[in-house]
Amino acid sequence: MIRTAPRAAQYALRVTALTAALGLWQLLTSLDIDLWLRFSQFPTVADVAGAFAGRLSGPDYWTDLTDSLTRVLTGFLVAAVLGVAVGVLVARSRLAEDLLGPLLEVVRPIPAIALVPVAILLFPSDEEGIVFITFTAAFFPVLVSTRHAVRALTPVWEEAVRTMGGGRWRILGSVVLPGALPGIFGGLSIGIGVSWICVISAEMISGQYGVGYRTWQDYTVVDYPGVFVGMVTIGVLGRLTSAAVELLGRRLTRWLPRTSCVPGARVPRRTHQAPAPAAAGPTPAPAGPGPKEDLPHDQLV
């Protein structure tokens, strides 16, 4: 009961802020304000909303959307699987570290989008090239965070399982993967954000269909409301996918100690979602209050 009033106020505040921003935009553009920043060429909110409504009823919008989504998810899923596998391998095996380590360290600093020429040379079609770039973008954050998480595991967990007679695979399945999961999800959250950046950029350069391709097409034909429709679409898709990754992560790492559950003096670990808002970029605000709300509630329990 205590929570309802502040919560309603909180939502009211958020809606007000958003409405005010849109109102300001509408005002600046409809009045064609030109004070160093030039809003005269800018589409108004109403223009964009109209264009959006038009697009939603057309066939291309949904094709673009599913194309981009398929590319992102394919690249991201392959990156998640390979990133975790290679990360575990490199963290657990000296040989793998020596063989793969130097190569990975040299390739890692290259921005995925700079690999467009490589992708064009390497793959028979643009489609695979775009997926490849998306994959590369997400692969390294996942790899690096998996490697760190596996190396940071408490050694007694592994020793305990070994003295129960557990072998290599048992240790992998019962200790390494579950124990590293919070760290892995940190990497996945960053990875999905970077994947979107790269899929849109790659589509702008070499795509056929896709939200990035459409946005760039609209720009070249001077359809500015269309460009904004594309931007809003990218924002919403990015937000939804990273929220899905975070939700899954929170579900799978329920066991993480929280402030409420710790009877002793153990310092509560921050939830692994912490780095995510930075990666999600466009919409960090809604992610913030979640843990803060939980805190007083959990402490009562």
* Contact residues for another protein, defined by CB under 8 A: 154, 156-157, 159-166, 170, 174-175, 178-179, 181, 253, 255-257, 261-264
For residue 163, the minimal CB distance to another protein (Å) is 4
For residue 263, the minimal CB distance to another protein (Å) is 6
35 pairs with which residues across the strands? 37
Name the residue nearer to another protein (CB basis): 49 or 160: 160
Name the residue nearer to another protein (CB basis): 109 or 264: 264
Other CB atoms within 10 Å distance of the CB of residue 247: 11
For residue 169, the minimal CB distance to another protein (Å) is 11
Give dist(CA 152, CA 8) in Å, integer: 41
Name the residue nearer to another protein (CB basis): 3 or 170: 170
Give dist(CA 287, CA 291) in Å, integer: 8
DSSP sequence for 151-187:
HTS-HHHHHHHHHTT--HHHHIIIIIHHHHHHHHHHH
**3-state DSSP of 44-89:** CHHHHHHHHHHHHHCHHHHHHHHHHHHHHHHHHHHHHHHHHHHHHH
For residue 168, the minimal CB distance to another protein (Å) is 12
For residue 176, the minimal CB distance to another protein (Å) is 11
34 pairs with which residues across the strands? 38
| Strand bridging mode 34-35 / 37-38 | antiparallel
For residue 151, the minimal CB distance to another protein (Å) is 18
Residue 71, class by beta-carbon neighbours within 10 Å (0-12 exposed, 13-18 middle, 19+ buried)?
Answer: buried
Name the residue nearer to another protein (CB basis): 59 or 263: 263
Name the residue nearer to another protein (CB basis): 124 or 167: 167
Name the residue nearer to another protein (CB basis): 166 or 235: 166
Q: What are the tokens at 216?
A: 């760039």
The 8 Å CB, 24+ separation contacts for 297-300 are 297/3, 298/258, 298/259, 298/260, 298/261, 299/259, 299/260
The amino acid at residue 136 is T
Q: At 212, which helix (H) or strand (E)?
A: helix 211-220
For residue 268, the minimal CB distance to another protein (Å) is 10
Name the residue nearer to another protein (CB basis): 45 or 171: 171
